Amino acid sequence: MLQSKSFLKRTKKGNAIKVVQEHYLRDDIWCSVECCTLCLQTEPVLSTSALLTKQIPRPHYIVPDTNVFMNQIDVVEHPALHDVIVMQTVYEELRHLSLPIYNRLRALINDQKKRFYVFSNEHHRDTYIQRLKDESPNDRNDRAIRSAVKWYSTHLKKINKENHIEVVLLTDDVGNRTKAQEEGLSAFSVREYVEGMTDTPELVDVLENSSNVEGDKKVPYEEGSIFSNVDGVETQVMILGRPCLNRAIQGDVVAVQLLPKSEWLRTPTAVVVEEEEEANVTADLKEDGEPKEQNDDLESEALESSQPTGKVVGIIKRNWRPYCGFISKKSVKSSATSTFAENVLVIPMDRRIPYIYIRTRQAQNLMGQRILVSIDSWPKNSTALGAAGDKSTETEVLLLEHDVPFQEFAAQVLNDLPVEGEAWKVTEVHLPGRADLRHLNICSIDPPGCTDIDDALHVRPLPNGNYEVGVHIADVTHFVKPFTSMDEEAANRGTTVYLVNKRIDMLPELLGTNLCSLRSNVDRLAFSCIWELTPEAEIVNVNFTKSVISSKASLTYEEAQMLIDDTRKQDDLTKGIRILNQLAKKLHKKRLDRGAITLASPEVRFQLDFDSQDPVDVEMKELRETNALVEEFMLLANISVAEKIFSKFPASSLLRRHPSPTPTKLKELSNAINRFNFSLEFETSKALADSLDRAVIPDNPYFNKLLRILTTRGMMQAVYFCSGTLQFQDFRHYGLAAEIYTHFTSPIRRYSDVIVHRLLHAAINSEKNYGQELVDINKMQKLCDASRNSVELHTNIFFKGKIEQDEGYVTRVLKNGFIVLVPKYGIEGIVYSSSANSTAKSPTTPQVVYNPHNNSLESVTPSGTVSINLFDKVIVQITVDEDLVGGMRQKMKMELVSPFIPGLSVSDNNLRKKEARIDDEGGNGKRMRIDD
């Protein structure tokens, strides 16, 4: 059957043309019901085991309208909903209204377990309707859906009059629902229908509606900071107190007014004891579970040094996201069998986020679970993630809290991969425009277990006595083209995130660990930076080219170091590594002479159990000469590439700079080392580097490294920027003493490097041209934070059930405690000297007093005065406290062992009481004692 309509259309030239549209109607569009004997379908979708609810006790199929999918897609995706008929009218509307919702619906249709069937009602002769005169398109579509529901109801009654399956229209449009009921159809709102599903009460919580749920801002939500220019100097501006935060949340883009200098605050010398902070939550609740009114006045304590302070006067852009948290047990009032909704308190894992009230019927079921809550528009949508303390759950919380995209790559992204898959290889078609360097002795040097090999090196002597040195970087841009789904996904992820026990890749595994990875003994595409260097490591010239290479060896740092040290090895590859090592040392010396700073950070490596992947040992990472070898040539490549792309694109190059440090923080550190007859000079990076080199105590070799660690923390963060936004004198990278710098050497794991590769390719090929393509730096910083927190998570797992004692160094002194860094494990913790809740003195209360004159803690003991100063060596006891907030947060706990302070240090009797008892799988008790 053919339907047609015609209309006149005016062209761009003003001519009128007649357009005729033909619409074919068919008799062979089947219902796809399993028990139907009237239709001729071969693979029916809809099962006879259809839905049953309290309100509709008969088996039935549901037909949602367009608005249900648009507003309640989370409900529709729930496993309890199946056997759903999707009208073609709805399907086409969704495709035009929201592509993300449309794609989610397509995923449901493709899921055989859900049994979603698309019925082509617009092409069925009995269900197609024409638009009436003066009828709106929306009203016509609503009528088309009702017409199709009516056909289904009549059709199913023909199959079995007495025990037929019903068809239910789901719509939140009151007018549409009323008309359906007047026509004798079964129609319900989503809420009416879901409330009848008594076996799945959690669906009520998932329902979206227009009401707001207010989040209460409490104690953790009292402090923030931004980076801004103050008196021409880029520095940190503190924002203290809820009134000054003005309802801004971490990540929001805000307008800040700088307060007068007389109101600037200084660095507080005390820290809040987290256990006491959490205990105050209950005191802040009324008996009915509502928050008490808060007194927002903040008392200032003893303050050390002034710091710019401001207040939020406007929120320019909200950057809310879902937050991980847990329900406070003390806020749950219902019984285990209750099905009534109640307000409960969600405590976010990120202490920078305010506590949030949600209304739920599942309070009892959600206690002890990590949940995900969203406060955009304050909806009541929380999702249980898993049991608190479980490693996989905590890892997922960690990734969600730092907004790390860790889902599997979507099909449209994988479609951009080479169709050959793992069988892809370099062929003659790839050679034009590339230098063939497969004959060179190229090798890679990486950490053990590295599979995403970004870089490789080579060196060969030249007839004039100089050396040709090449840095070869994986040519990711050959596979990741601009404006593809792969490129968009890589840009969204920003970087590969390395956790202790897993890696969240920026690129699909086929590229990251195979086709792009510069494996040994296989041809790979690369982007090469090749210098001619004198024996003194002076650059004669540099050349950039796309290339084809074949690495001769994939070495670890340790293996490369063994080749250098083994004098029996005299092969060409080993000789080349030795030459590279000598050149790297000279490059390093030149950098130091220019003022580059050798900084430090406490990094650890975990040994994981093969089966459980739990940490069984932890140690500080060992750095070898080969680490420095690779680092020097990567730095040289980054600098050379930065110069090249800036010469071609002076207004749109992606560069990286490191601002000069804030004097205030380094002054405090300089004052602290005065007692050792040292001082820090930081007028220039060269002056700072020299003063760090002089600060050496022969009988305390760790002192210099600790000083460099603390100096690193006093630095500003390095940031990406567009060259057209700053003057050239502001391009400088302070730490590297480089006038210009970028990131080029890690395109497999950093999207900024992908952009730089495109810029470099355009710079050496005049026909290529790319615009200003920058990266989301805030997201990249969150991903870096996630890597550090993974170390904290695995450290907690390592110490769980253990009591360890080890040497540490005091890195900061506070009014009520001090912070200790334990080099062996690379961890820091607070040793509290007093409790904020302590009101009464007792024989065991430590008499520790803060001395503001020399920034120390002092205690008078029977054997004399004991003081705790910055850089002091101490012995601490390390355990993991799992009792914070009902066991929902684990926290590293440190207690002082030596020097001994009565009431503060752990005594031998206490140690014996705290010996850990660990049960093995057979139930036999094992006693684990603390090492001497």
User: Mean of the pLDDT values across residues 339-359?
Assistant: 76
How confident is residue 6, by pLDDT bands cut at 50, 70 and 90? low
pLDDT: which is higher, 165 or 665: 165
Q: Residue 3 — pLDDT band, cuts 50, 70, 90? A: low
- Share the mean pLDDT of the chain: 77
Classify 42-211 by CATH class: alpha beta
Same fold, 42-211 and 322-388: no
Confidence band for 305, pLDDT divided at 50, 70 and 90: low
Q: Which two tokens stand for residue 524?
A: 């790979």
pLDDT in tens, 680-726: 887 788 888 888 889 898 888 888 888 888 887 777 777 888 887 77
The candidate with the shortest Cα–Cα distance to 357, out of 368, 348, 349, 365, is 348
Q: Is the pLDDT of residue 838 over 60?
A: no
* pLDDT value of residue 294: 39
Which residues, 6 or more positions from 245, have their beta carbon under 8 angstroms from its beta carbon?
217, 221, 222, 224, 239, 312
Residue 253: how many CB atoms within 10 A of its CB? 13
Per-residue pLDDT band for 774 (boundaries 50, 70, 90) equals very low
Q: What is the model's pTM? A: 0.55
Q: Cα 759 to chain center, whole Å?
A: 27
DSSP tag of 330: G
Q: List Cα–Cα distances, 764 to 537, 624, 645, 761, in angstroms.
A: 25, 36, 9, 5
- CATH number, domain 322-388: 2.40.50.700
Question: Among 12-21, 24-33, 834-843, 844-853, which range has the highest average pLDDT?
Answer: 24-33
The band of 416, judged by pLDDT with boundaries at 50, 70 and 90, is very high
Q: 353-373 b/e with 16+ CB inside 10 Å = b? A: bbbbbbebbbbbebbbbbbbb
pLDDT of residue 200: 79
The CATH number of domain 217-293+302-317 is 2.40.50: yes
Between the alpha carbon of residue 741 and those of residues 97, 130, 687, 714, 914, the distances in Å are 45, 65, 21, 21, 53
* pLDDT given for residue 881 in this prediction: 66
Rounded to an integer, what distance in angstroms lies between the CA atom of residue 584 and that of residue 576? 12
Look at residue 846 in the predicted model and tell me its pLDDT: 57
pLDDT of 478-536, one tens digit each? 999 988 999 888 887 888 876 666 778 889 999 999 999 999 999 999 999 999 999 99
pLDDT for position 233:
61
CB-count burial class (<10 Å; 0-12, 13-18, 19+) for 628: middle
Distance CA 445, CA 169 (A): 64
Residue pLDDT, tens place only, 181-218 = 999 999 999 988 888 887 777 777 666 433 222 222 22
- Residue 688 is predicted with a pLDDT of 87
Report whether 859 contacts 866 (CB < 8 A): yes
433 class by beta-carbon count within 10 Å (0-12 exposed, 13-18 middle, 19+ buried) = exposed
Measured between alpha carbons, how far is 546 from 355 in angstroms, rounded to an integer?
Answer: 53
Owner of token pair 């083994």: 566
223-261 pLDDT, tens digit each: 455 555 566 566 778 787 666 777 677 777 778 888 887
pLDDT over threshold 60, residue 380: no
| pLDDT higher than 50, residue 304 | no
- Evaluate whether 492 touches 506 at the Cβ level (below 8 Å): no
pLDDT at 826 over 50: yes
Q: Residue ranges per domain, the chain? A: 42-211, 217-293+302-317, 322-388, 412-649+742-786, 660-715, 800-931
Query: Which of 415-424, 513-522, 581-590, 860-869 has the lowest average pLDDT?
Result: 860-869
Using pLDDT thresholds of 50, 70 and 90, give the confidence band for residue 912. very low
Q: Which two tokens stand for residue 487?
A: 């490129």
The tokens of 378 are what?
A: 């304050």
| CATH class name, domain 800-931 | mainly beta
pLDDT at 880: 72
